[in-house]
Structure 1
Amino acid sequence: MPKKTLIITYYWPPAGGPGVQRWLKFVKYLPEFNVDPIVYIPENPNYPLLDESLLEDVSKSATIIKHPIKEPYKLAGIFSKKASKTISKGIIPEQKKQSFIEKLMLFVRGNFFIPDARKGWVKPSVKFLSEYISKENIETVITTGPPHSMHLIGLQLKAKLGVKWLADFRDPWTTIGYHKQLKLTRSSANKHKALEHEVLNFADDIIVTSFTTKTEFEAITSNPIHVITNGYDYEPLKDFTMDSKFTLAHIGSLLSKRNPEVLWRVLRDLRLESDGFAKDFQLNLIGAVSVDVLRTMNKYGLDNCIKNIGYVSHSKAVKHQKQSQLLLLIEIDSEETKCIIPGKLFEYMVSNRPIIALGPKNSDVETIIKETNTGHYFYYNSYSSLKSVILECYKAFKNNELQVHAIGIQKYSRRALTESLSKLI
């Protein structure tokens, strides 16, 4: 008999963005491993991005239950709709360029909504789910964050009902990049730490998406920690042709600090040094892009080779991945981001296009790209090697020889990863 498992998540179709894909795919494959998923989501969420096409991917066998939520971002939009929407997407302007409203909203978000703006959903959810769990004889509850307030629902349900509880961290809590930008008081920072400690030490099992996060959490708890990365779902696509230009495509959000000037300088110099490169090259930006990043690109004279496409549906993003000549992955150059493995990395890997990645030294992304032979990884000071590799790729493009020979990526398939999850359940 299938084991009923309750999954508590904020992000669910028609929400767009990377936070949706992980559990959408787990729910799709869990029934194959004798698990009956029941997904609990907000009835009236305020999603910063929408992708209606993802509704087609929701498993027909999954049970979806909903409960109302009060969304503070809707109220914040009264004061500044633009600032509210931008911050809710995770795009935080540099401190010196923040308006008074943006500074105020960040302070309120960091100090009055701990751990996050969805904290008001915890109490009504615990009441609603306590009755539902007892009625349906559910033994296992899974919470996934961010938002990390989802874990507080699991924390209270375990204390109240004694259910088995798995806490899934798609991103770290107090060490995630934007945490320092929330203008936290000392007491607020301590409260975040205390809640993080309580969740990590009370959950039966902890799931993380990177080995660096596992190491970080091992310093806080002795509870079992399991690494189940994000992954890819093979999506055959026949109706596309390769870009005729030498395209370098970045898919996803480009935050203010994902701004490697070394890359923009390399591209500027290659265009200045070769008329052929200048004629053939195009930088495609698919997703939300910070104004700060665009300004820096323009400073290096790239404005006339940029195609700023904006946010597109997941299906269109997959098409861009497959038809681009090169795929660009950028992470903030900091100690805190070594643990971040963007979900798009795995979709990049299965797209059969070479990856150009930039980020901090010794990151999990660097390890995966090298192990799978899916591209090249550079640091923010790697001018010569970066320039050399892009030039080599351009020459291969001109000779119709630009390709990638991936190794061992099958373990990152969504189905294989779901099998690992099912063993914990």
Structure 2
Amino acid sequence: MEPRPKRLLIVTYVFPPFAAVGVYRILKFCKYLPEFGISPVILTPNNPNTMARDEGLMAQVPHYVPVHHTPTVEPFRWRPEVKSSGDTEVKQSLSAETGREAEPGLVSRFKQTVKQNLSIPDTSYFWRWSGLWTGLRAVKEEKVDLILSSSPPHSAHLLAAHVASRTHKPLIVDFRDLWTQNTSYAERKLSPALGRRDRRYELSVLRQAAGITVNTDTFKAQLMENNSFLRSDQIDVVTNGFDPDDFKEFVASGTGENRFTLLYTGSLYGGHRNPEFFFTAVRMWMNQRPEVAGQIRLLFIGNWAPEHAGLIERHGLGEVIVKRDWMPQREALKETFAADLLLLFQGFDPALAAAIPRKLYEYMITNKPIMAFAPPGEIPDLITQYDCGVSFSSPEAEPIIAFLDEAFNTWKHRRETGQTTHALRSMPALETRQQVRRLADMCHRLA
């Protein structure tokens, strides 16, 4: 008689049909954990603070996975007015002439102050309480053996820790990004008192955790360096990786344009993901080689920070840049496989060296060249290991122009010789199934 699969309650703030970045990692947990004797159960809010919906993701949720929904109070849904303009979204408070946001008024500043004080560790804090009773009921009804929470938002860990302590179940903490060591943490500009409170929350979760999973080796090293009580055997690295099943329909995809297409998918927000240096280099390249102007296209899919609104016009790139809003996963992948050069804007701050965005794995499997902008660390190491492109560690224009020249010439040669398709890149060690197996092994050790 086969033993009963162990039941794992996964506490996640976003789950289909909502489509924030973290949902894909959880979907793969649900898909592959049962192969290794772990049966997932989901606890998630039914009204998360996200506007992105991808109904197609529902088809990826295995029918045998129970989903327990709970309401959550979201008092901080204040957003600047947004209007749609074709393929762009522009904040109404933005000055078209300066590309800068208007100065916030007294009411806006008051709201932000209140929001910050009630948003420790994040704006989803109130889910910690509204999800508690649903979580306790799920543990009882589903005969749960252990609990996993995935962040961000880190309030998911507080909820999971509360449920785990009430039910005496082992807790696994999954960090897609770190908590107080997050690269953008300083941008929150918390007061010392709020920072200490946030750190207390983090320490309480880490001390309760029976196991921890992180996205990269550097994340593991940073966690251990900052928390001396953690043991190396307590933390496993489970990268996002890629699922070959997601790409089968795109194997034979070739370039669908008569123009050399450079693609970026994802958000371009203020600060370190500012593409102005790249636009400057492209403008210089076009000045040096005027003939490329009619043969190139820069396609950006995703949301832009308001301060980027004037960049296209300022650099005279309106004829070559196409900007589209966020789109469902399958549509974005179709564009990715049809592109000729894939762009990754991570930023140059050394503090960003530890992270690997999920889209890098998607880029890599296409076997198309990648042009990344990142500090020395995880991203350039991975690109070098698999020989799938170049990573630039500074915004200097000349090396960027030289690579654009080389990539453009290669594209022209491939088209002239009829080479318009790419076989998928083989990367067995990075397949999601192998990564999820590590999580399953941890579950079996702990329960």
TM-score, normalised with respect to structure 2: 0.86
Q: Note closer, same or farther for the CA distance 1:307–1:250 as it changes in structure 2 (3 Å cut).
A: same
Partner in structure 2 of residue 89 of structure 1? none
Aligned mates of 1:340, 1:294 — CA distance in 2 = 27
Unmatched runs of 5 consecutive residues or more in structure 1:
87-93
Equivalent residue letter for 1:388: A
Partner in structure 1 of residue 92 of structure 2? none
Aligned mates of 1:284, 1:368 — CA distance in 2 = 24
Deviation at 1:59, TM superposition (A): 1.2
Partner in structure 2 of residue 157 of structure 1? 163
Equivalent residue letter for 1:418: V
Q: Note closer, same or farther for the CA distance 1:228–1:157 as it changes in structure 2 (3 Å cut).
A: same
Q: Note closer, same or farther for the CA distance 1:81–1:116 as it changes in structure 2 (3 Å cut).
A: farther
Equivalent residue letter for 1:38: V
Unmatched runs of 5 consecutive residues or more in structure 2:
84-88, 90-98
Aligned mates of 2:165, 2:343 — CA distance in 1 = 45
1:110 aligned residue (116, 133, 136) = 116
Q: Deviations over 1:180-206 (max 9, x none)?
A: 232311100111112112212220111
Equivalent residue letter for 2:249: L
When structure 1 is superposed on structure 2, of 101-110 and 41-50 the one drifting more is 101-110
**Count of aligned positions:** 412
Q: Note closer, same or farther for the CA distance 1:107–1:248 as it changes in structure 2 (3 Å cut).
A: farther
Partner in structure 2 of residue 32 of structure 1? 35
Check if 1:42 corresponds to 2:45.
yes
Partner in structure 2 of residue 342 of structure 1? 357
Aligned mates of 1:125, 1:350 — CA distance in 2 = 38
Equivalent residue letter for 1:164: P
Check if 1:322 corresponds to 2:328.
no
The structure where helix makes up a greater share of residues is 1
Q: Percent identity?
A: 27
Aligned mates of 2:248, 2:181 — CA distance in 1 = 37
When the two chains are superposed, the root-mean-square deviation of aligned CA atoms in Å is 2.4
1:229 aligned residue (239, 243, 248) = 239
Check if 1:412 corresponds to 2:430.
yes
Equivalent residue letter for 2:175: F
Aligned mates of 2:204, 2:135 — CA distance in 1 = 21
Aligned mates of 2:134, 2:52 — CA distance in 1 = 27
Deviation at 1:81, TM superposition (A): 4.9
**Larger of the two Rg values belongs to structure:** 2
Note if contact 2:215-2:239 (Cα within 8 Å) is conserved in structure 1.
yes
Q: Equivalent residue of 2:401, what SS?
A: helix
Check if 1:249 corresponds to 2:263.
yes
Aligned mates of 2:126, 2:176 — CA distance in 1 = 21
When structure 1 is superposed on structure 2, of 340-349 and 107-116 the one drifting more is 107-116
Q: Deviations over 1:201-233 (max 9, x none)?
A: 220111111122111110214141211111212
Aligned mates of 1:62, 1:402 — CA distance in 2 = 41
Q: Note closer, same or farther for the CA distance 1:406–1:233 as it changes in structure 2 (3 Å cut).
A: closer
Partner in structure 2 of residue 99 of structure 1? 104
Q: Equivalent residue of 1:4, what SS?
A: strand
Check if 1:173 corresponds to 2:175.
no
TM-score, normalised with respect to structure 1: 0.90
Deviation at 1:39, TM superposition (A): 0.7
Q: Equivalent residue of 1:315, what SS?
A: helix
After superposition, where does 1:18-417 map in structure 2 within 5 Å? 18-74=21-77, 76=78, 80-82=80-82, 99-100=104-105, 103-219=109-225, 220=227, 221-223=229-231, 224-234=234-244, 235-238=247-250, 240-242=253-255, 243-257=257-271, 258-360=273-375, 362-400=376-414, 409-417=427-435
When structure 1 is superposed on structure 2, of 223-232 and 256-265 the one drifting more is 256-265
Partner in structure 1 of residue 16 of structure 2? 13
When structure 1 is superposed on structure 2, of 28-37 and 180-189 the one drifting more is 180-189
Q: Note closer, same or farther for the CA distance 1:211–1:251 as it changes in structure 2 (3 Å cut).
A: same
Partner in structure 2 of residue 424 of structure 1? 442
Deviation at 1:402, TM superposition (A): 8.5
